[in-house]
Amino acid sequence: MSTNEQPALLEVRGLTKTFTATPALSEVDFTLYPGEVHAVLGENGAGKSTLIKVITGVYKRDAGTIRLNGKLIEPRSPGHAQELGISAVYQEINLIPTLSVAENLYVGRQPRFLGMVSMQLMNKKARKLLKTFNIDIDVTRDLSSYSIAIQQIVAIVRGVDLSAKILILDEPTSSLDRHEVETLFSVIRSLEEHGIGILLITHFLDQVYEISDRITVLRNGRKVGEHLTKELPRAKLISEMLGREFTETLGKRSNQITNGDSKHDTFLDIKGFAKRGMIEPFDLEIKKGEIVGLAGLLGSGRTEMGHLVFGINRSEKGEAFVESKKVKISSPRKAIRYGFGLCPEDRKVEGLIADLTIRENIILALQAKLGWYRHIPYKRQEQYADEMIEALHIVTTDAEKPVRELSGGNQQKVILARWLVSNPELLILDEPTRGIDIGAHAEIINIIKRLAKEGKALMVISSELAEVVDYSDRVVVLRDRKKLTELTGDEISEDAIMQAIAEK
Amino acid sequence: MKSRFFPLLVTFLVFSAIYAYCYYHFSSFGSMRVVCNLLRDNAHLGIAAIGMTFVIISGGIDLSVGSVIAFTGVFCALMITREGMDPYLVFAIVLGMGTIFGAVMGVFIYYFKIPAFIATLSGMFLARGMAYVLTTESIRITHPLYIRVSKLVYIFPDKGRFTFAAGAFLAVLVIGIYLAHFTRFGRNVYAIGGNDTAALMMGVPVGRTTIMVYTLSSFLATFAGIVLSLSKRSGDSTITVGAEMDIIAAVVIGGTLLTGGVGYVIGTFIGVLLPGVIRTYLTLEGSLSPWWIKIVVGGLLFGFIAMQKLLSARPKLFSFKRQVRPTTVSTA
């Protein structure tokens, strides 16, 4: 445990970094003391990864100072930062799966004996090094034969052994199970005892309270608070992260269809879907004409729930019923056949094919549904595309423009259009309004509401609480990959959602 | 049992089984005569294959080696016989050329991000073209040095002739094993093949190592060309067409994963000898068409690649894949 009287290990002052006009970080201060775990928290786009990338020299900062042990430093590259004593371990483990544990610890600095790389010496040193962290494993085995947790620990030990004073852990526990987290935490605690300062980025709040001594909250590239963990109530933390005060009543609910009554039939009923490492068992029912919002912090399992429902990842247990008929959702193909559609979160990577035209992108899902041998006539394709451009107000000169040339909001509409032409019964939208301008934002929300009125079932994942509160008939609240509760009708408010997330 | 050793073990078992089968039918497989001939006949392929092993472990491919071998032979013959140059000088020049050739391919592959397949494919056409431009005839070399080298033979009691080529092959093998396992360069090659971005983050000089890998491959291919020129005592631009394919096959049969990161030089040694053993068997057997060799090698290659695929599908071996979420929505 550290106190403020101790000299700081790392002092970041007034850090600013701007990408193409929008500041990713502005005037951020961050202080790390030796022997403490300092968690940096924030939602998507808060600036967490930019902060660590600047500290590790991946990005050049625009303004501000970084001091290590009181001395100004200028990290130029991850390698240079490492030499200075700042090591980072990322979520995707940056080790070599096909080499032994020992070799991974000593890649690039293999111990030599009489000028020759000596495996024996390397194995001996590796064993000794791991023993200092109470890890006793066969260091000659391939790294890939060990669990992710062990691999992560090997990465950490390597980082620390490279004379690290500061260790940055970026989402170290996101692919670990409970037991593995324990192992990792015991290593982190022993690092604390060695006086190493640890900057931890994670979205698991329980783990933040378990391991961290201090918390810095970032939002939209600004520091909004720094607290001792034990003095910060969860509710306050969450409201800082989301930027909403509990007392404020922001969420205006406009969607009052109230589908509680029986005239709406259940479209999809899921019982006990789950997948290890992704999401704990959950039930989910969606009626026709209903909008179900999924709310939770980043990494709470919102997207994972959508992926399981759409068959991108197969549920390990549980059953699903579409209109009371039992179905097996084993792949997106199957899901599409049952009338599902999914607009993914990252439209560039997962959704659109940038070089194809609007028409081609729109027609893709429908063609897949029909099967590739039943070609849709060109005339019909044009018709579909034009209809959609009109219905969704896609701003373009014509349907033959490559999607790449459209703005973010219009790209999002093209994805929507793709699913709309295939006339799905259930549409899963993952962050449909992320990264689009205000005008398009309102339009997308209107489209969502209209679709529900037309009798479609909608499942909308969003980190914008106000938005979720606005259109949802029901809100499913998630935390740490677990469905916590459901709010219906008048229960829905931003306060209620935040309260639900904060509850122990 | 370490999973890294598994492909090597399979290679070794298959080779032993085939050799035992051959020995059962023809006891001459137990003689030094057959062993020495195997080494001699496959020396040039083997030397180039050891270079190729490094390339494939690093996650790349080198299609230019067959052409480089041919070019070297033609260049030596032309310079020594037609121009009357000193053979040692010619060797030094051609090795220098080969080294630069490989380094340039490496630079293109690393700095200009040209896929190794394309960069070395153009290298293949370039070297072959240069060989043809030099001459399309077969030129004999009758320089005294060549005669002297051909007399450099250790004769075993059973008349097995251990030639210079066989010796060169074994020497390169030993150096190859040393490079792969006892130098940082070798370990870095494995690291790059396992995960090049991670290797970069861990401070491995990825660029330098990549360039050195292709340099080594071309250097050894050139050396293989010199060895072949010494044993054939001629230069011919039409030889070793498609040899790169035999060499790649030998490396893969030798247990090196085409995906990179896993492989052993000693495995390549076995992989080179395996077709040779089968060829010898077919010659002794007499009634079967010698082209059966292609069918057997094809079958073996297929078997080994299928095995590699199965291995990499085993979740434990490459558990890194667990983290990758499928993102196949767009194709749905």
Q: Are residues A80 and A174 located together in one domain of the fold?
A: yes
User: pLDDT at position B2, please?
Assistant: 60
Q: A279, A260 in Cβ contact below 8 A?
A: no
Long-range (24+ apart) CB contacts under 8 A made by A22-30 are: A23/A221, A24/A50, A24/A221, A25/A50, A25/A51, A25/A54, A25/A61, A25/A221, A26/A221, A26/A222, A27/A64, A27/A222, A27/A223, A28/A64, A28/A218, A28/A221, A28/A222, A28/A223, A29/A223, A29/A226, A30/A216, A30/A223
Match 């000299």 to its residue by tokens. Answer: A7
The beta-carbon neighbor of A148 closest among B204, B261, B322 is B322
Gap from A457 CA to chain B (nearest CA, Å):
19
Contact A344 B327 (CB under 8 A): yes
- Rounded CA-CA distance A8/A13 in Å is 12
pLDDT beyond 70 at B268: yes
Q: Are residues A448 and A377 located together in one domain of the fold?
A: no
Amino acid at B91: F
Residues of A in contact with B183 (CB under 8 A): 116-117
**Domain-located, residue A360:** yes
- Rounded CA-CA distance B52/B260 in Å is 12
Contact B190 A99 (CB under 8 A): yes
Q: Are residues A72 and A172 located together in one domain of the fold?
A: yes
B322: Cβ contacts below 8 Å, ≥ 6 apart: A148, A175, A277, B315
Mean per-residue pLDDT, B145-161: 91
Contact A96 B318 (CB under 8 A): no
Mean per-residue pLDDT, A95-114: 89
Length of chain B, in residues: 332
Amino acid at A223: K
User: pLDDT at position B62, please?
Assistant: 97
Residue of B nearest to A367 (CA): B332
**Domain-located, residue A128:** no
| Domain stops at, among A242, A268, A286 | A242
**Domain-located, residue A308:** yes
A66: Cβ contacts below 8 Å, ≥ 6 apart: A10, A11, A12, A13, A15, A54, A55, A72, A73, A74, A75
User: pLDDT at position A248, please?
Assistant: 41
Segments forming the whole domain that contains residue A58: 10-98+142-242
Is the minimum CB–CB distance between B55 and chain A shorter than 8 Å? no
Q: Are residues A430 and A416 located together in one domain of the fold?
A: no
Is the minimum CB–CB distance between B193 and chain A shorter than 8 Å? yes
Contact A107 B262 (CB under 8 A): no
**Domain-located, residue A54:** yes
Q: Are residues A77 and A176 located together in one domain of the fold?
A: yes
Q: Which of residues 145-184 of B touch A (CB under 8 A)?
A: 178, 181-184
Mean per-residue pLDDT, B315-321: 39
**Domain-located, residue A238:** yes
To the question of pTM greater than 0.80 for the whole model, the response is: no
| Domain stops at, among A187, A212, A242 | A242
Residue of B nearest to A118 (CA): B182
Q: Are residues A360 and A444 located together in one domain of the fold?
A: no
Contact B195 A313 (CB under 8 A): no
- Rounded CA-CA distance A152/B78 in Å is 59
Q: Are residues A194 and A167 located together in one domain of the fold?
A: yes
Burial A364-389 (b: 16+ CB within 10 A, else e): bbbbbbeeeeeeeeeeebeebbeebb
Q: What is the ipTM of this complex?
A: 0.81
Residues of A in contact with B2 (CB under 8 A): 100, 140-142, 145
Which of A108-112, A281-285, B135-139, B269-273 is predicted with the least confidence, judged by mean pLDDT? Answer: A108-112
Residues of B in contact with A416 (CB under 8 A): none
- From the options 2.160.20, 1.10.3470, 1.10.1760, 1.25.40, give the CATH code of B3-331: 1.10.3470
**Domain-located, residue A439:** yes
Contact B188 A107 (CB under 8 A): yes
Candidates A159, A217, A157; CA nearest to A187 is: A157
Is the minimum CB–CB distance between A348 and chain B shorter than 8 Å? no
Contact A364 B330 (CB under 8 A): yes
| Domain stops at, among A193, A222, A242 | A242
Report the domain count for chain A.
3
The pLDDT-based confidence of A419 (bands split at 50, 70, 90) is confident
The beta-carbon neighbor of B194 closest among A78, A99, A110 is A99
User: pLDDT at position A504, please?
Assistant: 65
Which of A277-291, A357-371, A446-460, B195-209 is predicted with the least confidence, judged by mean pLDDT? Answer: A357-371
Strands A22-32 and A291-295, by their bridges, are unpaired
Decide: helix, strand or coil at residue A304: helix
Element (H, E) at B249: helix B243-253
Angle at B19 between CA B13 and CA B21, to 5 degrees: 105
User: pLDDT at position B304, please?
Assistant: 85
Contact A332 B332 (CB under 8 A): yes
Q: Are residues A330 and A353 located together in one domain of the fold?
A: no
Q: A75, A55 in Cβ contact below 8 A?
A: yes
Count of CB atoms within 10 A of residue B192's CB?
28
Is the minimum CB–CB distance between B262 and chain A shorter than 8 Å? yes
Q: Which two tokens stand for residue A21?
A: 């006009």
User: pLDDT at position B243, please?
Assistant: 94
Q: Are residues A327 and A475 located together in one domain of the fold?
A: yes
Q: Express each pLDDT in A29-48 by its tens digit.
A: 999 999 999 999 987 668 88
Residues of B in contact with A336 (CB under 8 A): 332
Gap from B261 CA to chain A (nearest CA, Å):
6
Count of CB atoms within 10 A of residue A147's CB?
17
Q: Are residues A316 and A447 located together in one domain of the fold?
A: yes
Contact B330 A336 (CB under 8 A): no
What CATH number has the domain bearing residue A447? 3.40.50.300
Decide: helix, strand or coil at residue A214: strand
**Domain-located, residue A212:** yes
pLDDT beyond 50 at A365: yes
Extended beta strands in B80-230, E state: 139-140, 154-155, 161-162
Q: Are residues A224 and A323 located together in one domain of the fold?
A: no
User: Is pLDDT larger for residue A109 or for residue A65?
Assistant: A65
Is the minimum CB–CB distance between B264 and chain A shorter than 8 Å? no
**Domain-located, residue A134:** no
User: pLDDT at position A397, please?
Assistant: 80
> Which of B174, B329, B331 is the best mutation test for A, with the most CBs of A within 10 A?
B329
> Which of B188, B330, B331 is the best mutation test for A, with the most CBs of A within 10 A?
B330
Q: Are residues A419 and A430 located together in one domain of the fold?
A: no
